[in-house]
Each structure stands twice: as C-alpha cells, then as structure tokens.
C-alpha cells in the first residue's frame, strides 16, 4: 500500500496562487468585496483522505469540483458565519455531502472558515458495513445533500477536524514519518464520527431542494457565465431566470451582497484578472484583455479593477509577465 503523506499550510494574497496550490480540487475563487484579500489553506493528503482547512477574509464566490474518486464532506469551522452552498443557507449544525461529481457553488461571507474532507469511498463502504452492518449507498445516494445534525454529533466531528488540523501543523514543522501518522488512525476515527452524524439525523429535516428563488438565481448565473457580459440586460435576466426583476434583485443581494449589474461587473473584472495574471507568453496587451471583457474606457476599467483587487491592471500584468 502507498503510505504517502503530504502536508501544506500556506497563506496567500492572490486567489490565483491559491487556485494553483489546492491539491485534488478544480476550483475558482472570485472576490466579490473590495479591499485587500488574503486566504489561508491547509491540506493533509494521504491515500484515503484529503483534509482541507480554508479561511478567506472577504466575500468570495466559489465554484468548481472536489477530488475525483473520493466522496467529499464539509462543515463550517468554529465561529464562521453562515454561507450559501448550492444556493442553500448552511449553518454550524449542518453537514454538507457533495454529489459524486463533486461539483458545487458557494458564496462565503467575511471571515469564512471551513473544513472539507475527501474520503476514499471504499473506506466508507467497509466501515459502514463493519460498524453498522448497513450498506453505505443506502445511507447516502449520489446526489448532493445537506444534513441537519444533532449538535453533540457535529461538535464532536468539528473537534476531531480541529485536532486533525493541529496535528497537520505539527507534521508540517517536523520530519515525523508516514508510519507515525498511520498510528493516529485519523481516517478511521473521522469516518466513524461522520457516520454518527449521518445516522443520528433520522428524525431531522434535510435541505435537499433549493427554493424557487434559488433556482431562478442559478439560471440567471448560468446565463451570465455564457452570454456576452457587456450585452446582458435586466430584462434578459428576468426572462431566462423565470423571475421578476425585483425578485432577482433581492436574490442577488441576499446571496452576493450585490445587485445583478454589480455582480456582472465583478464577473467581468475577474475574467480580466485571470487573463492578466496568466498573460505571460500570450503577447496580449492590457487594453486588448479589457476590451475582450467588455471594458472600453481604460481609465474606468483601471479604477474599478483597483477597487476590487487593490492594485492596477498594469501591476498584475507586470508582476506575472
């Protein structure tokens, strides 16, 4: 058996650097609030587990997919504010079960702290059978699910994840071997407590279906992602989402803290930022990148860009080129 263990514990000022550092996940982080941005990432990777602890200081639009070949779960860390995951509000007592595809969207508020863990599905199958004589797939299907857990169960899970994070810091600062990690049995303990959370949920309602407003918002965002963003109108968004302009305005402000127009501008600025960050070797000029994202007034583009990213487009461009 491969006993490989790797641990990282890093801090970033640039979300593109964070995107490149995350192991196993295909993810895109988009800042939605102005000011200096910083994030923290800790990951512990073993053959059967990828543990992730993340922290963001500002409001962030997250989207992507988790590690393939594993089943992914997530809970908020201590004192983290509620977040939106797949257009559902998530609080301290709720466990997120990602779909088999791993795909997700999330909107995290300021000072967001989260634990996520990807577990080898065969370990889940084996331990469910050994501990409870049940079939794992009878407990959890292939779809996404949000479980409202018993407070004592999820607090025990949160404590275990906090201990895992601390142990990871110890391993990061020493030359302790993979064999020493194996003796801690973190994977088995984690699965055992996870199963307690899932099985202790029998009499509690689950959040399995987004509201009509959330579905309308999802359709609007999908349209924003695919349509030429400099030509999107409020009337078009209302039509494709199936919701009135006022309802859509309320939904955007509730989820993103932004009106639809401001959200679209953030999306365009984010696309420009990614292109500027990765401009090395493309020979594209700043004005060409701005124009591709529908920005034609370069002075206004530079001002809006600096408000969101804390630096001018030219600074991003020079730094990476």
Of 67 and 304, the structure prediction assigns the larger pLDDT to 304
pTM, full prediction: 0.86
Strand order in the sheet with 88-90: 26-31, 60-65, 103-108, 83-85, 88-90
Residue 321: pLDDT band with limits 50, 70, 90: low
**Residue 1 CA, distance from chain mean position:** 31
Per-residue pLDDT tens digits for 127-172: 999 999 999 999 998 888 899 999 999 999 999 999 999 988 877 6
Percentage of the chain beyond pLDDT 90 is 53
Per-residue pLDDT tens digits for 209-239: 667 888 888 889 888 888 876 678 888 999 9
CB atoms within 10 A of CB 21: 13
Q: What is the mean pLDDT of residues 27-39?
A: 87
Of 4 and 303, the structure prediction assigns the larger pLDDT to 303
Q: What is the mean pLDDT of the chain?
A: 88
Q: What is the pLDDT of residue 82?
A: 82
Percentage of the chain beyond pLDDT 70 is 92
Cβ–Cβ < 8 Å for 30, 267: yes
Q: What is the pLDDT of residue 190?
A: 96
* Residue with token string 């196993």: 24
pLDDT at 256 over 90: no
Q: What is the pLDDT of residue 204?
A: 52
**Residue 121 CA, distance from chain mean position:** 21
Q: What is the mean pLDDT of residues 86-93?
A: 87
Domains and CATH numbers, the chain: 6-199 (2.60.120.10), 212-320 (1.10.10.60)
| Whole-number Cα distances in Å, 43 to 51, 100, 209, 321 | 5, 21, 30, 29
């Amino acid at each position: 058996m491969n006993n490989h263990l790797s641990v990282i514990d890093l801090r970033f000022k640039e979300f593109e650097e964070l995107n490149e550092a995350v192991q196993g996940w295909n993810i895109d982080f988009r800042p939605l609030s102005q000011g200096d941005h910083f994030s923290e990432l800790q990951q512990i990777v073993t053959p059967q587990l990828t543990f992730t602890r993340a922290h963001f200081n500002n409001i962030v639009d997250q989207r992507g997919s988790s590690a393939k070949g594993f089943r992914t779960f997530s809970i908020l860390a201590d004192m983290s504010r509620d977040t939106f995951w797949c257009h559902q509000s998530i609080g301290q007592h709720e466990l997120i079960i990602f779909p088999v595809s791993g795909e997700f969207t999330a909107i995290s508020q300021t000072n967001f702290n989260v634990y996520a863990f990807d577990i080898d599905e065969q370990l889940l199958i084996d331990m469910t059978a050994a501990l409870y004589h049940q079939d794992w797939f009878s407990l959890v299907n292939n779809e996404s699910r949000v479980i409202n857990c018993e407070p004592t169960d999820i607090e025990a899970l949160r404590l275990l994840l906090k201990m895992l994070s601390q142990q990871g810091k110890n391993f990061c600062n020493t030359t302790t071997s993979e064999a020493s990690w194996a003796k801690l049995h973190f994977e088995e303990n984690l699965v055992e407590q996870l199963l307690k959370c899932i099985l202790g949920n029998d009499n509690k309602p689950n959040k399995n279906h987004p509201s009509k407003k959330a579905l309308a918002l999802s359709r609007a965002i999908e349209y924003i992602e695919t349509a030429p963003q400099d030509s999107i109108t409020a009337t078009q968004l209302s039509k494709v989402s199936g919701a009135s302009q006022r309802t859509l305005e309320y939904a955007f402000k509730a989820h993103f803290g932004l009106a639809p127009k401001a959200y679209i501008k953030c999306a365009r600025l984010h696309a420009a930022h990614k292109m500027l960050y990765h401009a090395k070797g493309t020979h594209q000029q700043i004005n060409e990148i701005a124009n591709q994202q529908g920005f034609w007034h370069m002075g206004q583009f530079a001002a809006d860009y600096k408000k969101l990213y804390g630096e001018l487009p030219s600074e991003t461009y020079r730094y990476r080129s």
